[in-house]
Amino acid sequence: MSTKPALHFTHANSFPAVSYRKFLSAFERDFDVGFIDMLGHNPAYPVTDCWPNLVDESLHYIEARYAGPVIAVGHSLGGFISFLCAIKRPELFRAVVLLDSPIFSRRVSSMLWLGKRLGFIERLTPGRGSRTRRHRWTTSAEVLTHFQARAMFAAFDPDCLKDYVEGGTHAVEEGVQLRFEREVEYRIYCGLPHIFPSLQGQLRVPTGFIGGSHSDYVRTADIRHMRRGFGIVTREFDGGHLFPLEAPLAAARSTRDMIETLLSSPR
């Protein structure tokens, strides 16, 4: 059993945790690092609205994997899951760090709720393209070339892109295919939680948020909501939504700084 403090990491939607090898390597000397490689793929924990089963999947792993409370670090989907886990089982957590996972204000939450009820949730999330995006190629080299040409991956650290291609694909009869199932990715996007305003006053774990300065998903109203509604410490990182995969070592330094702040500040 490791004597290092435990750090549990949770990945973004469609990016297996192995894609973050370079980011996580910055913690391995000082922390006992663990993760679930791909949430949502265990049939015992299917993806449903607001992700309660993914929360339970994470909590069951944390209870089984670590000897005591953990520091939870999550990117995008992973931050939301970490936050919801800390709300449900605060005794399992020492601190939570959200990486570009804004806890939505009432306005955004209401829009998500309405989108689900009226059937336009796909227009509010990246889910629309999930079911049809390319997921199969002839060779791994072809996968790498494909993603290098896409704007979304243009700022990726080369090592992170390589890890995503190598760890995020597997061999199939027709060639190479993404491991993260498109239907799971779609259901995760369409189940984006609309319940955050109802959780105000329930956070008992020191929590910090690091948002990308160029992220399309961070709004001023959400920053205010996190500070006033939950007492979340907020900071900015020079990057986009995927900054842990674009500047992994710098992102790790910012995350470690946030962890130190959270653990040293009385709540």
194-234: pLDDT as tens digits: 999 999 999 999 999 999 999 999 999 999 999 999 999 99
In b/e form, how buried is each residue of 41-61, taking b as 16+ CB within 10 angstroms?
Answer: beeebebeebbbbbbebbbeb
Beta bridge partners of residue 137, listed in sequence order: 176
Amino acid at 33: V
Per-residue pLDDT at 266 exceeds 70: no
The predicted pLDDT at position 174 comes to 85
Mean pLDDT in residue range 97-109 = 96
Per-residue pLDDT at 48 exceeds 70: yes
| Axis crossing angle, helix 106-118 with helix 220-230, rounded to the nearest 10 | 110
Whole-prediction pTM: 0.97
CA atoms within 13 A on the CB side of 33: 20
Give Cα separations from 61 to 35, 55, 157, 242 (angstroms). Answer: 8, 10, 29, 25
CA distance 164 to 185: 16
CA distance 65 to 220: 37
Beta bridge partners of residue 128, listed in sequence order: none
Per-residue pLDDT at 251 exceeds 90: yes
Please compute Rg for the chain using Cα positions: 18
Per-residue pLDDT at 139 exceeds 60: yes
Mean pLDDT in residue range 259-267 = 87
> Could you tell me the pLDDT band of residue 42, with boundaries at 50, 70 and 90?
very high
CA-closest candidate to residue 164, choices 33, 13, 25, 17 = 17
Mean pLDDT in residue range 117-125 = 92
Per-residue pLDDT at 2 exceeds 90: no
Could you say which DSSP state residue 220 is in? H
> Could you tell me the pLDDT band of residue 267, with boundaries at 50, 70 and 90?
low
Are the CB atoms for 16 and 38 separated by under 8 Å? yes
User: Could you give the domains of the chain?
Assistant: 6-114+195-264 (3.40.50.1820), 119-185 (no CATH)
Report the 10 Å Cβ neighbour count for 263: 12
Mean pLDDT in residue range 24-45 = 98
Are the CB atoms for 131 and 182 separated by under 8 Å? yes
- Residue 207, SS3? strand
Higher-pLDDT residue of 126 and 46 is 46
* Counts of helices then strands in the chain (DSSP H, E): 10, 9
Are the CB atoms for 45 and 99 separated by under 8 Å? no
- Residue 74, SS3? strand
Are the CB atoms for 203 and 72 separated by under 8 Å? no
Could you say which DSSP state residue 242 is in? T
Per-residue pLDDT at 265 exceeds 80: no
